[in-house]
Amino acid sequence: MVLLKNITGAVILLCVLLLGLLYSSAWNSSRVINPVKQSQILPKRRQPPVSPVPGDAPGRTDVQTMTSWSVPVVWEGTFDPVLLDSHYQPKNLTIAATVFAMGKYIRFLKKFLETMEQHFFTGFNVHVFVYTDRPNEVPQVKMASGRQRTVKTVPTLNRWQEITSSRMFLVQALIEEELRDYADFIFCMDVDSEFHGHWGTESLGDLVGVLHPDFYKSHRSTFTYERRPISKAYMAPEEGDFYYAMGVFGGNLQEVQQLCQTCAINFLNDSTKGIEAAWQEESHLNRLLYSSAWNSSGVIDPVKQSQILPKRRQPPVSPMPGDAPGRTDVQTMTSWSVPVVWEGTFDPVLLDSLYQPKNLTIAATVFAMGKYIKFLKKFLETMEQHFFTGFNVHVFVYTDRPNEVPQVKMASGRQRTVKTVPTLNRWQEITSSRMFWVQALIEEELLDYADFIFCMDVDSEFHGHWGTESLGDLVGVLHPDFYKSHRSTFTYERRPISKAYMAPEDGDYYYAMGVFGGNPKEVQRLCQTCAINFWDDRIKGIEAAWQEESHLNRYLWINKPSKVLSPEYQWQDFRPDSPEVHIIRFSGIVKYYAEIRPNWV
Ligand code: UDP
Ligand code: MN
pTM value > 0.85: no
67 and 167 assigned to the same domain: yes
- Are 141 and 33 in the same domain? yes
Please list all protein residues whose beta carbon sits less than 5 angstroms from ligand 2, which is an ion: 457, 459, 588
Q: Are 370 and 598 in contact (CB under 8 A)?
A: yes
- Ligand 1, atom 3: closest residue by C-alpha: 369
Amino acid 33: pLDDT? 34
Looking at the fold, whether 233 and 368 belong to one and the same domain comes out as no
Q: pLDDT class for 11, splitting at 50, 70, 90?
A: low
Domain end marker among 261, 293, 325? 293
Q: Is residue 63 pLDDT above 90, yes or no?
A: no
| Nearest Cα residue to 114 out of 30, 49, 194 | 194
Please indicate, yes or no, whether residues 249 and 115 belong to a single structural domain of this protein. Answer: yes
**Could you tell me the distance, in angstroms and rounded to a whole number, from the CA of residue 379 to the centre of ligand 1?**
13
Q: Which residues pair with 147 in a beta bridge?
A: 126
* Cβ-contact 208, 309 below 8 angstroms: no
Give the ligand at the shortest distance from the Cα of 367.
Answer: 1
458 ligand 1 Cβ < 6 A: yes
Pocket test for ligand 1, best of 369, 477, 510, 547 (most atoms within 8 A of CB): 369
pLDDT level of residue 68 (50, 70, 90 thresholds): confident
Which of 367, 424, 435 has most ligand 1 atoms within 8 Å of its beta carbon, as the pocket-test mutant?
Answer: 367
pLDDT for 54 equals 55
Q: What is the largest CA-CA distance in the chain?
A: 85
Cα 98 to middle of ligand 1, angstroms: 55
- 313 in any annotated domain: no
Per-residue confidence (pLDDT) for residue 65, from 0 to 100:
82
Q: Are residues 264 and 374 in the same domain?
A: no
Whether 461 maps to a domain, the answer reads: yes
Read off the pLDDT of residues 449-500 as tens digits, 9 standing for 90 and up: 999 999 999 999 999 999 999 999 999 999 999 999 999 999 999 999 999 9
Residue nearest to atom 6 of ligand 1 (CA): 431
Contact (Cβ atoms closer than 8 angstroms) between residue 14 and residue 535: yes
Domain co-membership, 283 together with 357: no
| Number of CB atoms found within 10 A of residue 405's CB | 17
Active-site position among 282, 429, 549, 568: 549
270 occurs within a structural domain: yes
Q: What is the pLDDT of residues 240-263, one digit of tens each?
A: 889 999 999 999 999 999 999 999
Q: How far apart are CA 505 and CA 486, in angstroms?
A: 11
Report if residue 184 sits inside a domain.
Answer: yes
Return the percentage of the chain with pLDDT > 70, whole number.
Answer: 85
The CA-to-CA distance between both ends of the chain, in Å, stands at 22
Please indicate, yes or no, whether residues 418 and 563 belong to a single structural domain of this protein: yes
pLDDT in tens, 539-565: 999 999 999 999 999 999 999 999 999
Look up the domain containing 376 and give its range.
338-596
CB 430 near ligand 1, within 6 Å: yes
Which domain CATH number covers 226? 3.90.550.10
Please tell me if the CB atom of residue 427 comes closer than 6 angstroms to any atom of ligand 1.
yes
- Is the CB–ligand 1 distance for residue 512 below 6 Å? no
Q: What is the pLDDT of residue 157?
A: 86
- Domain assignment present for residue 583? The answer is yes
Domain shared by 273 and 372, yes or no:
no
Q: How confident is the model at residue 324 (pLDDT cuts 50, 70, 90)?
A: low
Would residue 308 count as lying in a domain?
no
Distance 595 CA to ligand 1 centre (A): 12
The angle that helices 520-539 and 9-24 make with each other, rounded to 10 degrees, is: 120
144 with 88, same domain?
yes
Neighbours of 423 (CB within 10 A): 12
549 is catalytic: yes
Q: Which atom of ligand 1 is nearest to the CA of 459?
A: 15
Among candidate residues 235, 263, 293, the one where a domain is terminated? 293
Q: Is 60 exceeded by the pLDDT of residue 371? A: yes
Q: What is the CA radius of gyration of the chain?
A: 26
Residue that is last in its domain, among 259, 293, 327? 293
CA-proximal residue: ligand 1, atom 17 (nearest) = 431
Do 397 and 480 lie in a common domain? yes
Task: Check pLDDT > 90 for residue 434.
Answer: yes
Q: What is the domain count for the chain?
A: 2
Instruction: Indicate if ligand 1 lies below 6 Å from the C-beta of 369.
Output: yes
Say what the pLDDT of residue 321 is: 54
| Same domain? 398 vs 537 | yes
- 6 assigned to some structural domain: no
Q: Say whether both 34 and 183 belong to one domain.
A: yes
360 within domain boundaries = yes
Return the pLDDT at 320: 53
